[in-house]
């Protein structure tokens, strides 16, 4: 009597157990490569809500597969999300070729979470034309290459031309020094009605990020390599000048608004609302302000970073899963040099973007040198559909302002520098010297701990 029932129950339990077991094991990407066919999982596919971009990506995939019948691309949505990256990696769900920001590679290389692709680059000549300082983002200290860049930006001063005109400032001539920024911010604030002259970040690492751009603009450094060891270098005249200027603008001039502890989207939103005069930004902020916060391209101008002794550069690119086989790496490099890191593609991409009302001609530093750079410049000029004269000040100054990259362990350092930015913007009697000294101590600890 009891036996069949017991058997049934045990059978059920077994099924349940197996269900749990298989649910607990992540299924990795298919790694079989039969008959020389390679299946390559890639990300960067724009979400279906961005219909045009989404379709464009899929069209590129189809075209690539036609040219390379032995490669199957499996596109997936999504870019770099630090919060899901580790989980995807752990679950074997990380794409073979995945999107990164310039802040990611150093960390991924140090943790050995990416594959070295140096030995395959000789077959892809366009990679020889990538600017060495941009390629360096994707290299380890021995020169091994782990990925390829796609876009590069550098920081300038984004400003509202209409408010400039209203405040009696010349929109064709944005401030070139921090002293001029301070004066302009006062005039814009004087318009009243909740206008904010100059906006600044101080939350979620964005404060430290802007501090870095601003200290570079004065010729300062955040960290320097001193005989093989990194040391904090921002407790300097330039570091003091950055914080003191912000403190004066916030508390003496009242030209930065009451609301502080702002993070990335806050200033874009404020700019879109027409209430903000200026903030330090990259050109790619402009389309976001237009699309998400109801701005108009005609309203915004981009000038060089005030001070002009240097600026912070960032960008995006693609890297390779540490577990990718040589066949997958080769296929991945084919894909990247077919589209993202490809000079031949600029013409077709720009034509398509122009047809689809997607902005062309925002001023960005090229990722290439030589012929490839010229191809890109020609294609950009041909299809430009956003007001080029608004970015003329930025473009004119671009060749003379050196683009510097982020310090090592950037995010950790930014988190520390956030505190200094927060304090000067939220405490009237903040002690600049003390803040820099405290931050210096902590950053030196970060730079000393090779974890």
Partner 1 sequence: MIGDNLLAYAFMAGGLACFALFSWYPLIRGIMLSFQQVNFVTDPYWVGTENYVALFEDPLFWTAWRNTLVFSGIALVFGYLVPLFLAILMNELRHLKGFFRVAVYLPVMLPPIVVVLLWRYFYDPGNGLFNTVLSAVGLPTSQWTQSSGTALFSLVLVSTWANLGGATLMYLAGLQSIPGELYEAAELDGASVWQRLRHVTIPQLRFLMLVLLLLQVIATMQVFIEPYQLTGTTNPDTITVMVLIYRYAFTVNNDFGLAAAMSVTLFVVLAAFSAVYLRLTRSQES
Q: What are the residues binding partner 1 (CB under 8 A)?
A: 2, 5-6, 9-10, 12-13, 16-17, 20, 24, 82-83, 86, 89-90, 107, 111-113, 194, 203-205, 207-208, 257-261, 263, 322-323, 411-412, 414-416, 418-419, 422-423, 426-427, 442, 449, 451
Q: Which residues pair with 170 in a beta bridge?
A: none
Q: How far is the CB of 98 from partner 1 (least distance, A)?
A: 13
| Strand partners for 311 | 403
Minimum Å distance from CB 72 to partner 1? Answer: 24
Rounded Cα gap, residues 33 and 188, in angstroms: 62
Distance of CA 83 to the CA centre of its chain: 16
According to DSSP, the residues that pair with 42 across neighbouring strands are 75, 97
**Least distance between partner 1 and beta carbon 256 (Å):** 10
Closer CB to partner 1, 94 or 386, in the complex: 94
Cα end-to-end distance, the chain, whole Å: 63
Q: Which of 406, 441, 434 is nearest to 420 (CA)?
A: 434
- What are the strands of the beta sheet with 276-281, ordered from one edge? 196-198, 276-281, 156-160, 300-304
Strands (E) located in 161-275: 196-198, 223-226, 229-232
The β-bridge relationship of strands 196-198 and 276-281 is parallel
The rounded distance, in Å, linking the Cα atoms of 61 and 73 is 7
CB of 16 to partner 1, least distance (A): 6
Please, which residue, 13 or 172, has the CB nearer to partner 1? 13
Whichever of 98 and 346 has its CB closer to partner 1, that residue is 98
Identity of the residue, 354 or 415, whose beta carbon is nearer to partner 1 in the bound complex: 415
For partner 1, the closer CB: 373 or 419: 419
- Residues 117/145, Cβ–Cβ less than 8 Å: yes
Q: List C-alpha distances in Å: 1 to 8, 11, 12, 13, 404.
A: 12, 16, 18, 19, 80
- Give the nearer residue to partner 1 in terms of CB position, either 82 or 125: 82
**Closest distance between partner 1 and the C-beta of residue 411, in Å?**
5
- For residue 426, the minimal CB distance to partner 1 (Å) is 4
Give every CB contact of residue 226 below 8 A, 6+ residues apart in sequence: none
115, 96 contact by CB (below 8 A)? no
Least distance (Å) between residue 122 CB and partner 1: 26
- Closer by beta carbon to partner 1, 92 or else 359: 92
Q: CA 297, CA 286: separation in Å to the nearest integer?
A: 7
Tell which phi-psi region holds residue 435, choosing left (phi > 0), alpha (psi between -120 and 50) or beta: alpha
d(CA 264, CA 52): 26
Residues in the chain: 451
**How near is the Cβ of 227 to partner 1 at its closest, in Å?**
25
Q: Nearer to partner 1 by C-beta: 1 or 237?
A: 1
CA 377, CA 368: separation in Å to the nearest integer? Answer: 10
Query: How far apart are alpha carbons 74 and 426 in whole angstroms?
Result: 48
Taking the least distance from each CB to partner 1, the nearer of 257 and 317 is 257
- H-helix or E-strand containing 141? none
Q: State the nearest-atom distance from the C-beta of 283 to partner 1, in Å.
A: 26
Residue closer to partner 1, measured from CB, 109 or 281: 109
Closest approach, Cβ 419 to partner 1, in A, equals 6
Phi, then psi, of 113 in degrees rounded to 5: -100, 5
User: Least separation, in Å, of the C-beta of 41 and partner 1?
Assistant: 16
Rank residues 90 and 396 by Cβ distance to partner 1 and give the closer one.
90
């Amino acid at each position: 009597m009891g036996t069949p029932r017991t058997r049934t129950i045990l059978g059920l339990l077994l099924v349940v157990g197996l269900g749990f077991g298989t649910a607990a094991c992540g299924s990795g990407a298919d790694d079989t490569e039969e008959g020389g066919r390679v299946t390559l999982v890639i990300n960067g596919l724009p979400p279906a809500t961005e219909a045009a971009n989404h379709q464009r990506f899929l069209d590129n995939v189809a075209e690539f597969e036609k040219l390379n019948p032995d490669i199957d691309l499996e596109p997936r949505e999504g870019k770099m999300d630090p919060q899901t990256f580790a989980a995807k990696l752990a679950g074997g769900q990380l794409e073979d070729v995945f999107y990164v920001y310039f802040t990611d590679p150093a960390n991924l290389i140090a943790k050995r979470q990416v594959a070295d692709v140096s030995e395959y680059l000789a077959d892809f000549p366009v990679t020889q034309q990538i600017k060495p300082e941009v390629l360096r983002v994707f290299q380890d200290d021995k020169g091994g290459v782990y990925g390829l860049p796609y876009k590069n930006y550098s920081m300038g001063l984004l400003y509202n031309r209409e408010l400039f005109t209203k405040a009696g400032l010349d929109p064709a001539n944005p401030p070139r020094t921090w002293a001029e920024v301070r004066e302009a911010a006062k005039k814009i604030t004087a318009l009243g009605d909740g206008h904010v002259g100059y906006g600044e970040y101080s939350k979620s690492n964005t404060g430290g990020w802007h501090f870095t751009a601003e200290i570079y603009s004065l010729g300062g450094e955040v960290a320097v390599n001193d005989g093989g060891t990194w040391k904090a270098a921002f407790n300097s005249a330039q570091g003091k000048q950055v914080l003191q200027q912000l403190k004066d603008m916030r508390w003496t001039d009242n030209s930065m608004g009451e609301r502080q502890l702002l993070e990335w989207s806050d200033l874009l939103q404020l700019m879109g609302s027409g209430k903000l005069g200026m903030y330090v930004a990259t050109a790619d902020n402009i389309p976001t302000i237009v699309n998400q916060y109801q701005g108009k391209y005609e309203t915004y101008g981009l000038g060089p970073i005030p001070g002009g002794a240097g600026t912070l550069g960032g960008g995006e690119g693609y890297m390779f899963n540490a577990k990718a086989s040589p066949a997958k790496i080769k296929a991945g490099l084919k894909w990247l040099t077919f589209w993202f890191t490809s000079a031949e593609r600029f013409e077709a991409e720009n034509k398509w973007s122009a047809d689809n009302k997607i902005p062309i001609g925002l001023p960005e530093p090229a990722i290439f040198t030589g012929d490839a750079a010229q191809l890109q410049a020609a294609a950009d000029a041909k299809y430009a559909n956003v007001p080029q004269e608004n970015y003329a000040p930025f473009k004119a100054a671009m060749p003379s302002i050196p683009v510097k990259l982020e310090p090592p362990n950037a995010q950790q350092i930014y988190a520390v520098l956030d505190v200094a930015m927060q304090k000067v913007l939220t405490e009237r009697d903040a002690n600049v010297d003390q803040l820099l000294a405290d931050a210096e101590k902590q950053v030196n600890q970060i730079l000393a701990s090779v974890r």
